[in-house]
Each structure stands twice: as structure tokens, then as C-alpha cells.
């Protein structure tokens, strides 16, 4: 009798340990993709990858200078995570919506990966129903692209282009480069055609599931780690999960947030960041998924201690796998605004960003390489 109890206890422990291990939603994922996911789930107890959008393409006052990056100019090495954007790929353009040529982007992706870094892709695809930008929340767009909808064929052609791009991302040995794919992001907001006011939860879920099934099953892409990404419009786990596509479709749970006020320390921003992190971390723990900060930043970094006094203390003891600072577009002639989230040499926040870089929990290029994330 006793031995049976002991055996049962052993079995239960083994079973729980197996279940507690984070598993990728794609059981046919390539070995590098599986390794990346499992390594990211291990590092979150020690720290998180620091990322930058369009890091190698341009920065404040420069474009396409070989080897350059604002992060590298300030701290001496590249970020650990590189964010790239697919918007306009769906219409066969050669440049993305921020004027980055897709062929150059592929090169940057290969370089980042060969350096041991991680790639994440967002997609601000144009509205397939109206032909306007992603920021056209025209109601009915989502249902129009679903099977049976008037724009379904158009949408399939768009997905074909995305799939072609993804399948062309190959490492030196011909292996597919794993990608943290973050489609239909900031879904709780109301500015995109897939936003919360433009479609029902069911429609959003069908859009997400259809897209992932199409890429994985029809296009046989097995290099995707799928990221579900809300805005800060959430106040509870159930808000976060209202449009969640399901455990078989999602691997990373995340949200985006920006400080918009010019206050040095904006307690509303900090409290919201903490609240959302707690929600995402708790759901990630319950579901054995990863938690991450999909996008974050303070445009132009008007407070020169923002990184070490605002961001770092909040993120320090969190169990996130990575965070992504948005793009250093610099001056934007089309609307006269200026946008950057990482300081550049000479900016007031440079010393503070170096301090942030030196913190033990922030991982940049060299730490990422040491972590051998693909093995
Ligand atoms: C926004 C801004 C825009 C850009 C878009 C997609 O937040 O940076 O200038 O076009 O992201 O990258």
C-alpha cells in the first residue's frame, strides 16, 4: 500500500514538473524556435532582453550607415532584441510604411540572428476593406476578411506575402530564423481596424486563429513564436483575456505602454504599468506562457533619469522575457513631429541609459549571445 502511495506521489510530481514547463503552441516548431522559447522562459528569472525597433536601419539624424545603431553608439553594443515592421508588405511594396526596404530588413534580421539576437515582427497592415491605413478602424473590416467575407481573397493574398517573407528568413545553415510574431497588436485600443470597437471578441479571435492556422498549416511555417498584445485598456485578467485566441495559438502574453505626459515621474503611467504587468504575469504563470512588454517608451525622453528612476525599478523584479523600445525616427517631415525612445550621443539621457545598460537584469547583445538562445 505504502509503496503505491509513494509511486503515485512520484508520478504526480513528474507530471506537474512536465506540465510546469513552458511549451510552444506549435508542436511542430523548428528546434531553434523551441530552444528560443524554452530559453526565454528560463531567463525571465534573471532578467530580460532589451530591444529596439528598427535599430540598425536608422536613428536620430542618420539612415543606413553600416554597423550603426543609436543603442550601440550610446552603450557600445547592439540591443538583444530587434523589432521590425511588416506594414505595406501586404500590398507588395518594396518599402515598409516607415520607408525601410524589405530586402535590407531581411539582411538586418539575418545579421541580428547570427549575432545571437532575437527578432520580433509587428504588422501595421493597411485596412483591406477601405484601402486606407491600419489606423482606419472602419467597422466590419475584420468580418470582411474572414472566410466568406468580401475581402477574404484579398486577405489571403496579403498573408501569402507575409508568409513568403517569413519563409525567406534563413540562418547560415539554411535553418529558419525564429521570429516573435506580433500581429493585430494593441487590440484593446480603438485605432486599428482590428481594434476593440471595430469587431466583436469572436471576430478578433477568428481573425487571429485564421491567420496563425494559415501561416502554420497552409504555409507550413514553423518558426513562429506567437505574441498576443493588448494596450493598457485592461484592468483585470478577464479584460486581458476577453479576445485571447487560445493556448494553442499564443505563446507570449504582452501589452504596449507609453508615457505621454511630460512629467518626470508620472504616477498614473507607473501604476498602470505595474497593474498591467501583474495581470500579464499572472496569466502567463497560470497558462505556462511567457510575459513580455511588447512596446514601451517615453518619446524624446524629456526626463534624463527616466530609465533608472521610472522604468528600471518597475521592471527589475518582474518575470518578463523581454521589452522593446520603439523606433528612433527622429524628425518626421510629413507631420513635423519628432520621435525617439533611445538616447543618442549628446542627448541628456545618455548617462542614464548607460546606467540602465549596466544593471544586471538588462540583457543586451553580448549577454544574449552568451545565453545561446537557439541551443
Ligand atoms: C508608430 C509611429 C509611426 C509608425 C508606426 C509603425 O507608433 O512610430 O511613425 O509609422 O508606429 O511603425
124 lines ligand 1 (CB under 6 A): yes
Q: Whose CA is nearest to atom 3 of ligand 1?
A: 98
Q: What percent of the chain has pLDDT over 70?
A: 94
Structure confidence by residue, pLDDT tens digits, 129-142 = 999 999 999 999 99
Residue 80 inside a domain? The answer is yes
Task: Classify residue 219 by its DSSP letter.
Answer: S
How far is CA 340 from each of CA 138, 211, 229, 271, 337, rounded to the nearest angstrom? 29, 31, 22, 23, 10
Q: What is the mean pLDDT of residues 316-341?
A: 97
Kindly state the average pLDDT of the residues 323-333. 98
User: Tens digits of per-residue pLDDT, 145-168?
Assistant: 999 999 999 999 999 999 999 999
- The per-residue pLDDT for 16 is 43
CATH code for position 239: 3.20.20.80
Measure the CA–CA gap between 253 and 241, rounded to whole angstroms.
10
Give residues with Cβ within 8 angstroms of 160, minimum separation 6.
219
CA distance 147 to 368: 41
Q: What per-residue confidence (pLDDT) applies to 13?
A: 47
Does residue 23 form part of some domain?
no
Cell numbers describing residue 4: 503505491
Grid coordinates representing 310 are 521610472
Domain-embedded: residue 206? yes
Q: Is 24 in the pocket of ligand 1 (CB under 6 A)?
A: no
Q: Is the CB of 88 under 6 A from ligand 1?
A: no
- Domain span at 116: 28-371
Pairing relation of β-strands 224-230 and 179-182? parallel
Mutate to test the pocket of ligand 1, among 90, 98, 133 (most ligand atoms within 8 A of CB): 98
pTM (global) more than 0.85: yes
Output the CA–CA distances (angstroms, integers) from residue 168 to 10, 90, 101, 164, in the order listed: 46, 15, 15, 6
DSSP string over 245-275: --TTT-SEEEEEEEE-S--SS-HHHHHHHHH
Per-residue confidence at 20, pLDDT binned at 50, 70, 90?
very low
In angstroms, what is the span from residue 330 Cα to ligand 1's centroid? 12
pLDDT of residue 45: 84
Please report whether residue 4 resides in a domain: no
What number does the ligand 1 atom closest to the CA of 124 have?
6
Residue 15 domain-assigned (yes or no)? no
Tens digit of pLDDT for each residue in 218-244? 999 999 999 999 999 999 999 999 999
Residue 318 lies in a domain: yes
- Ligand 1 center from residue 193 Cα (angstroms): 15
- As a whole number, mean pLDDT of residues 52-72 equals 98
Three cell numbers written together for 19: 506540465
CB 339 within 8 A of CB 27: no
If you average pLDDT over residues 324-334, what whole number do you get?
A: 97
Is 32 part of any domain? yes
- Mean pLDDT, the chain, rounded, equals 95
Given the CA of residue 327, which atom of ligand 1 is nearest to it? Answer: 8
Range with the poorest average pLDDT among 7-11, 175-179, 290-294? 7-11
Distance from residue 57's CA to the centre of ligand 1 (Å)? 14
| Number of domains, the chain | 1
The mean pLDDT of 32-58, rounded to a whole number, is 96
Query: Which DSSP category does 212 fall into?
Result: H
Residue 108 is classified by DSSP as H
Predicted local distance difference test score (pLDDT) of residue 44: 83
The finding on whether 97 has its CB within 6 A of some atom of ligand 1 is yes
- Structural domain includes residue 174: yes
Predicted confidence at residue 21, as pLDDT, reads 55
> Would you say residue 56 has pLDDT above 80?
yes
pLDDT of residue 2: 55
Amino acid at each position: 500500500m505504502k509503496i503505491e502511495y509513494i509511486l503515485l506521489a512520484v508520478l504526480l510530481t513528474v507530471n506537474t514538473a512536465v506540465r510546469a514547463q513552458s511549451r510552444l503552441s506549435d508542436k511542430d516548431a523548428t528546434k531553434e524556435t523551441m530552444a528560443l522559447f524554452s530559453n526565454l522562459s528560463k531567463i525571465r528569472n534573471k532578467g530580460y532582453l532589451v530591444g529596439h525597433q528598427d535599430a540598425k536601419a536608422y536613428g536620430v539624424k542618420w539612415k543606413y550607415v553600416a554597423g550603426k545603431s543609436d543603442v550601440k553608439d550610446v552603450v557600445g553594443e547592439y540591443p538583444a532584441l530587434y523589432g521590425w515592421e511588416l506594414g505595406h508588405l501586404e500590398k507588395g511594396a518594396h518599402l515598409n510604411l516607415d520607408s525601410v526596404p524589405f530586402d535590407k530588413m531581411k539582411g538586418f534580421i539575418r545579421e541580428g540572428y547570427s549575432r545571437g539576437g532575437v527578432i520580433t515582427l509587428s504588422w501595421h497592415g493597411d485596412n483591406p476593406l477601405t484601402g486606407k491605413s491600419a489606423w482606419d478602424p472602419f467597422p466590419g473590416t475584420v468580418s470582411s476578411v474572414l472566410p466568406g467575407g468580401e475581402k477574404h481573397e484579398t486577405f489571403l493574398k496579403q498573408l501569402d506575402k507575409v508568409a513568403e517573407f517569413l519563409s525567406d528568413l534563413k540562418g547560415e545553415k539554411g535553418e529558419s530564423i525564429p521570429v516573435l510574431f506580433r500581429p493585430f497588436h494593441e487590440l484593446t485600443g480603438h485605432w486599428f481596424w482590428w481594434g476593440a470597437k471595430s469587431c466583436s471578441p469572436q471576430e478578433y479571435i477568428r481573425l487571429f486563429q485564421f491567420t496563425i492556422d494559415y501561416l502554420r498549416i497552409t504555409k507550413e511555417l514553423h518558426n513562429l513564436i506567437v505574441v498576443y498584445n493588448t494596450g493598457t485598456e485592461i484592468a483585470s485578467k478577464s479584460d486581458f483575456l476577453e479576445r485571447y485566441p487560445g493556448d494553442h495559438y499564443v505563446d507570449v502574453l504582452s501589452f504596449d505602454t507609453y508615457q505621454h505626459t511630460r512629467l518626470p515621474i508620472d504616477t498614473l503611467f507607473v501604476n498602470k504599468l505595474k497593474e498591467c504587468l501583474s495581470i500579464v504575469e499572472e496569466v502567463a504563470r497560470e497558462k505556462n506562457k511567457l510575459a513580455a512588454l511588447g512596446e514601451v517608451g517615453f518619446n524624446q525622453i524629456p526626463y534624463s533619469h527616466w530609465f533608472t528612476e521610472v522604468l528600471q525599478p518597475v521592471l527589475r523584479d518582474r518575470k518578463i522575457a523581454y521589452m522593446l523600445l520603439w523606433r528612433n525616427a527622429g524628425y518626421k517631415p510629413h507631420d513635423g513631429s519628432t520621435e525617439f525612445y533611445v538616447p543618442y550621443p549628446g542627448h541628456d539621457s545618455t548617462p542614464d541609459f548607460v546606467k540602465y545598460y549596466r544593471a544586471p537584469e538588462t540583457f543586451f547583445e553580448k549577454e544574449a549571445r552568451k545565453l545561446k538562445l537557439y541551443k
